[in-house]
Amino acid sequence: MKTAAFGDYSRQILDNLLEGCQLIDFEFRYLYLNKAIIKQSHKTKAELIGRTMMEAYPGIDQTEMFAHLRDCLVDRTPQMMENHFTFPNGQKGWFELRMEPVPQGVLIFSIDITERKKLELHLRELDSLKNKFINIVAHQIRTPSTVVRWSVENLLEGVTEPVTAAQTQVLQAIYQANNDIITRTDDMLMTIEIEEDRIKPQKTPLKLEKVLASVLQRIMEEFKTKNITLDIIYPAALLPAIQADQHHMRSVFDKLLRNALIYTPSGGTVTVSLQLVSKAALRFAVKDTGVGIPKADQAAIPGRFVRASNASAVQPNASGLGLFVADYLIRAHGGHLGFISRKGRGSTFWFELPVKA
Amino acid sequence: MSKTVLLIEDEKSLSVLLRNRLMAEDCEVLTAANGAEGLSVALNKHPDLIVLDLLMPEMDGITLLQNLRQDPWGKKVPVTVLSNVSDMEHVFRSLNEGAVDYLIKADWSLDATIEHITDRLDAPVKT
């Protein structure tokens, strides 16, 4: 019976296949087993040949694998699955199974993927450990940053005693650097939340022009200091309120405006506009006369930690997370973010959001 | 009559900065340096508003909130969470326990934080 299944030549090939191979008949009896499957099965050939699967592995008829096998036997349809198998001694293994209907029953090919599965699991554990680590570090950084921020604010406002113009300049430098630490920590944390798919916008009816105005108010001074002209094109008519997360929208405006501020040289112009482009969509755009993004780098933006090749010359230390975060937040609101750019001429970053999300 | 704020914050320097500014706004300020102390001060002194940090020794902020909400008075007192933890799990758990606000310290200027607290005192949100 066992030799009748295949010709001698095919038999020889199957015997030496690295993949496990077994032939099961319509009564779930083992008709043929190659060398690899004997190794995978933790049993000897004599213990299996001629026996049913239920005799060899009691309870196997209750498994998902068995259901697939039955489908293959009855419906004559090929099946594929990953099988998490527990051996009678309690040991566990993962196998990738392919079941092919043949005249004698079903031919099952199996690859032992236990090692790969263990590695995958290990990798997932490491990934979660990495995220936990960053979370802890970020929190540890935020607390002293807050102390610096609030203390410097106190000094700048002359709450304790008046400060001189020269002292103010120093304090402002400290303040700015500290705010950079806070923003980057925020981006890092946001990236983890994104990776773990935990960002859920808390939507409320929002007047986008109001949010933009408040962000602009905070950043305007920095444009003036760098001698960049800031042109603001206000919407021609009142904009409809949209359903959006205020904190997320502030963050997106801030990131796009800051990018323009950083990459536009002194004497340049940045044009900001917010308008209704159709009945259904609002469009925000920031056009700068900055360094632009080389064509070769454009496809990778906005990726995680991705920066254009000419970005470091302008701003050596930045994380390349800002646009990644902005893009994600806009998509989480059902919109999309894009840009057009020419190296040396400038960039326009824009996003569109649906009015009814 | 001036209103009373209870600051539950383990970082001494932040607690002092907040306290001084709130006192300048004519608030009565109580402070506690950990959750256990915070809970006991809250239940004894019945402040008008509690400003609560989350990661603290003795008892963390969320456990404090859970305990506070068991008390007939504590059920209704407005609580503003002021923390540097920002993961969604902490945010949701705090809001579920009835916090009225969740502010990330590092993202707020001292001015804006004080303004927010005094606004809350003037027009408390019903919880």
pLDDT digits (tens, 9 = 90+) for A6-32: 778 888 889 999 999 999 999 999 999
pLDDT above 70 coverage of chain A, percent = 94
pLDDT in tens, A159-180: 778 888 898 889 988 998 898 8
Contact: B106, A182; criterion CB under 8 Å: yes
Q: For residues B103 and B86, what is the distance between their CA atoms, to the nearest angstrom?
A: 9
Count of CB pairs separated by less than 8 Å, A with B: 57
Nearest to B17 among A143, A145, A154 (CB): A154
pLDDT in tens, A206-257: 889 889 988 898 788 889 888 999 999 888 778 888 999 888 999 899 999 9
**pLDDT number for residue A212:** 92
Kindly report whether the peptide bond that precedes residue A302 is cis, defined as omega within 30 degrees of 0. yes
Nearest to B88 among A149, A182, A198 (CB): A198
Mutate to test the interface with A, among B107, B111, B117 (most CBs of A within 10 A): B107
Contact: B106, A142; criterion CB under 8 Å: yes
Residue type, A50: G
Contact: A159, B21; criterion CB under 8 Å: yes
Q: For residues A353 and B16, what is the distance between their CA atoms, to the nearest angstrom?
A: 43
ipTM: 0.82
Nearest to A143 among B11, B86, B109 (CB): B11
- The DSSP-derived string for A168-235 is HHHHHHHHHHHHHHHHHHHHHHHHHHHHTT------EEE-HHHHHHHHHHHHHHHHHHTT-EEEEE--
Tens place of pLDDT per residue across chain B (127 aa): 689 999 999 989 999 999 999 999 989 999 999 999 999 999 999 999 999 998 888 888 889 999 999 999 998 899 999 988 877 777 778 887 878 888 888 888 888 899 889 988 887 554 4
Instruction: Quote the strand ranges of A90-151, DSSP E.
Output: 92-102, 105-112
Report DSSP state, residue A304. T
pTM comes to: 0.62
Report DSSP state, residue B107. G
Q: For residues A94 and A113, what is the distance between their CA atoms, to the nearest angstrom?
A: 5
Q: For residues A106 and A109, what is the distance between their CA atoms, to the nearest angstrom?
A: 10
- Contacting residues of B for A147, CB less than 8 Å apart: 11, 13-14, 17
Nearest to B88 among A143, A153, A200 (CB): A200
